[in-house]
Amino acid sequence: MSPARPPRPSRRRLLQATGVGLGAMTAGAGVWAWCLDELPRTAGPAGGSPVVDPADQSFLQVIAHADDGLYFMNPDLEQSLRAGARSVTVCLTGGEADGRNAGRRAADPAAVPRNRPAFARARTNGLRAAHAAMATGDPAAPWDLATISLLPGFQAELHTLRAAPHHQLIFLELVEARAVWRARATSLRGLWLGATDTLPTLRPAGTPVPRRFHYTRDQLVETLVAVLDRVRPTVVRTLDPNATHSRRPPPASPDHDPRLAGLRYYDHQDHTASAYFAQAALAAYRGRARYRPAVVENYLGYEAAVLPNDLDLPAARHKARLLSVYGWADHRRCGDPAGCGDRKVGGSALNGSSRNWTRSTRLRAPGSNAWIRVAADGRLAAFAVLGGAAYCWTETRPGSGSFGRPAEVGGELLQGQIHAVRRPDGALQLFATRTVLPGRNASHRREVVTAAQHGTAPDGRPRFAPWESLGSPDPDPVRSLEIGFPAAAAAPDGTVHVFVRTWDGNIAHRSGPNGSYWSLWERLEGTVSTLQASPQIVDGLDACVDSDGLIHLVAASARTVAHWVSRGAGQMPRPAAVTGLPQPAGPVSAVPLADGVVRIAYRRAVTAQVLIAERPRTVGTWRVAAQCEAVGGYGRVAAAPVGSGDRMVLAARDDAGALRLTMAQDAPGPWQTGRVPHSAAAGVTQDAVGRAVVAVLGTDGRLHTTRQASVGPGGPFQGWRSHAGAAGRRIRRETR
């Protein structure tokens, strides 16, 4: 039996009790908290059963090196493998490095014989063991090895897990760059930039592939298109296509080709180039006969090591244990003289922890706190990006809880989640970023885009104008690749303001009356770039308008939460006092409440614990008002006001990949658990009746929602409802 909960304190008493911050909260008086033992294990939305059928999901991971998914895509990768859905991982390079399979603690690593084919095979064996452990619990589970022809005249290795044949690994074995950033024409980056016409493969020891192959850029793209066509994934995972630059100069290189010149980045050049090729393949796949719109997730690589850690210790340790399997830390026998794992990863029981990469999992797109909104007629409209295009689900009638099939809202190579704003006239306006791939008349760049609602279709769906480019605050194409994801707010006078992180760690903005006739990009006052070790402003902004008409902008910095606020209604926000809040582990979500109060919700670095901070109008100083019992997870905490007063709804991912949600008024209620595997951040709002609604984009590409059975803080959430997904080329377009 759960212990009785203490009486809820009033907000005034709460603020008095919490004092200046988190330190005052640990004493126990007047604290918002809910105990892990109180959390319903099988109660709440969706009961004890997942609402996403494994048969309706399929996952494709595109990685550069064998360990990339283990370092950067877990825990998501393991959760999808354990779900029993089809999963295919394509590893582009052999990862042969210097050919010495020796750890950093070896007595004399340089004395280990150089054997690149054997080392490439050892890395393959390590990845098979780690994937078998994730999928079946047995790292020694056998695999079947064969060749596969994805492109006429080319062959690659296909590994199939015998106990779970829906789980496969494909190795193209292209030669790797053999350096994190040193320019080398014979590399994925060289192939992408045209510094080499072809990139050769490296035949691993014992491979059934009969000979070496040489891939052109177009052939590599077509190979990945063939994989997409074969798998028809609902989720595509890649590495980061928008790595952040470092102030350190690039290392000297014997290759002086000007096409290879450029900045130095925090990430490995193979990671970035592999993501470019994946983007190009996704763009080419869209027009194919068997096209299936997919959720696309891009994971940060080495940059995660210079940002605050965002996983709790249990998740990080589990991640490291799987890397220990890959790294052959148990010295197991696998029957292959080439080796059974990658000793460079380490040799201790927690070898993965030798790299700070195990302490974080970050998506390049930080997710939106505003992708489900109430339209002018009271219907809910939810927006998502699938296959690079935007889609809109609309309620069949206000408050019905039933959504029809999504309509395509256009767009191409959009990334992340849509940020939707409702203007004072009731019209919706969408914001996103898109990538423009290099071509005959186009340079490789990213830009902010917007689509404004222009009327309503006869069936109640909002109609949108074609997407309009707002350009980039960094017009240089190379710099534009590093811009962040937009947050926007509509002022009471109808002016829409959009904010985005710039390449140098600052914030820029544009404004437009009624979302049009946009001003030029300008830097927001008060941001100072410090790219020595990590960006000053970390992506994951949010903006809101309080009950007095003031615009608030919040952002995670390298050390605390940064805050800007208007001095008067309709004015641009200016730097506010230093918040002094604990270091954030990721995006920050802002919630405007009554009486000029603004709350924010975010995860604390290192522990992943959800914190709620509040800024009353009369006090004007931020205080940590609640700390939620740790349930792990990572990413944005979705939050929105419900009703009037200070009631709000929260939703966050936990360590198991499930969704935790709760209502809060004065103090939060207990978390409820929704076992819905989903992408990025949840969406939260209230419907036309006043009931709280939580929505997620499932890993099956469908919209899933739950809402309260009745209005009010005590109204329980009902079971989850699944709504139709996009239907590939049969989807109808609504961009008139």
Q: What pLDDT, in 10s, does the model give residues 518-555?
A: 999 999 987 554 444 445 899 999 999 999 999 999 99
The predicted pLDDT at position 399 comes to: 95
The class that CATH gives domain 11-38+365-728 is mainly beta
Cα gap 597→625, rounded to integer Å: 12
pTM: 0.92
Q: What is the pLDDT of residues 175-216, one digit of tens each?
A: 999 999 999 999 999 999 999 999 999 999 999 999 999 999
The predicted pLDDT at position 150 comes to: 98
The predicted pLDDT at position 532 comes to: 45
Confidence of residue 11 (pLDDT cuts 50, 70, 90): very low
Q: Which of 337-341, 635-639, 728-732 has the lowest mean pLDDT?
A: 728-732
What does pLDDT average to over the chain?
89
Phi, psi (deg, nearest 5) at residue 599: -115, 155
* Proportion of the chain above pLDDT 90, given as a percent: 78
Q: What is the pLDDT of residues 458-511, one digit of tens each?
A: 989 999 999 999 999 999 999 999 999 999 999 999 999 999 999 999 999 999
Pick 599 or 287 by higher pLDDT: 599
Q: What is the pLDDT of residues 78-100, one digit of tens each?
A: 999 999 999 999 999 999 999 99
**Domain residue ranges of the chain, discontinuous segments joined by +:** 11-38+365-728, 54-106+114-359
Q: Which helix (H) or strand (E) holds 281?
A: helix 269-285
Categorise residue 548: left if φ over 0, alpha if ψ from -120 to 50, beta otherwise: alpha
CB neighbourhood size of 170 (10 A): 21
Cα gap 661→674, rounded to integer Å: 8
CB neighbourhood size of 90 (10 A): 24
Cα gap 570→556, rounded to integer Å: 24
Looking at residues 416-440, what average pLDDT do you find? Answer: 96
CATH of domain 54-106+114-359: 3.40.50.10320
The predicted pLDDT at position 41 comes to: 30
The predicted pLDDT at position 667 comes to: 67
Cα gap 385→284, rounded to integer Å: 17
For 94-127, b/e burial (b = at least 16 CB within 10 A) is bbbbebbbbbeeeeeeeebeebbbbbbbbbbbbb
Cα gap 182→232, rounded to integer Å: 36
The predicted pLDDT at position 12 comes to: 34
Q: Is the pLDDT of residue 27 over 50?
A: no
CB neighbourhood size of 398 (10 A): 15
Q: Which of 370-374, 706-710, 726-730 has the lowest mean pLDDT?
A: 726-730
CB neighbourhood size of 14 (10 A): 20
Confidence of residue 43 (pLDDT cuts 50, 70, 90): very low
Q: Which of 14-18, 142-146, 348-352 has the lowest mean pLDDT?
A: 14-18
The predicted pLDDT at position 7 comes to: 37
Strand order in the sheet with 495-501: 487-490, 495-501, 507-513, 522-523
Cα gap 682→660, rounded to integer Å: 10
Please tell me if the domain spanning 11-38+365-728 has the same topology as the one spanning 54-106+114-359: no
Tokens of 445: 């760049």
